[in-house]
Amino acid sequence: MSVANILGEKGRNVITIQGSSSLLDVARMLSANKIGVIVVSEDGVSVDGIVSERDIVKAIANNGAEVLLRSVSKFMTQNVITCQDSDTIENLMEKMTKGRFRHLPVVNDGKLDGVISIGDVVKMRIAEAQSVADAMREYITTG
């Protein structure tokens, strides 16, 4: 099971925002789209950074609510770890565990091409385990 399989079901739509937008814009987009991160990108193709709901909480805790009017580029994570279509679920779990984050933008041939969340990984793991259990059950019952 790979990133390509996950995105085949989920789709490749990515919500992006430009670095000059405010943290308030980010909060509104996260809420409206019911997501946990937004990829920061000037052109919708390259990955300039990533901003998560955790970054907003941290920014407010450190600076007060006025920070919501400042630009996202000041608070995003710049060194973004990405994955690509050929990565396996095991690769994704390793990257998320090592980096202690729950999201991975997908970049194929230098272009932003999807986002994987920890929820997508868990869903696929459960589906895999279910299909192994079904195969075992069939093997046992059909002899």
* Binding interface with ligand AMP (CB under 6 A): 36-37, 50-52, 54-55, 77, 80-81, 99, 101-104
Can you say whether residue 2 is alpha, beta or left, with left for phi > 0 and alpha for psi between -120 and 50 degrees? Answer: beta
We find the least distance from the C-beta atom of residue 65 to ligand AMP, in angstroms, to be 19
We find the least distance from the C-beta atom of residue 5 to ligand AMP, in angstroms, to be 19
Residue 24: its H or E element = helix 23-33
Nearest CB to ligand AMP, comparing residues 23 and 51: 51
Closest residue to ligand AMP using C-beta atoms = 52
Token code pair at residue 46: 């390259």
Q: Distance of CA 53 to CAs 35, 41, 60, 68, Å? A: 9, 17, 11, 12
We find the least distance from the C-beta atom of residue 79 to ligand AMP, in angstroms, to be 6
Question: What are the beta bridge partners of residue 50?
Answer: 39, 77
Nearest CB to ligand AMP, comparing residues 19 and 36: 36
Nearest CB to ligand AMP, comparing residues 52 and 124: 52
We find the least distance from the C-beta atom of residue 76 to ligand AMP, in angstroms, to be 6
Taking each helix axis as running N to C, give the angle between helix 53-63 and helix 23-33, from 0 to 180 degrees, rounded to the nearest 10: 140
Let me know: does 39 contact 31? Beta carbons within 8 Å: no
Nearest CB to ligand AMP, comparing residues 31 and 130: 31
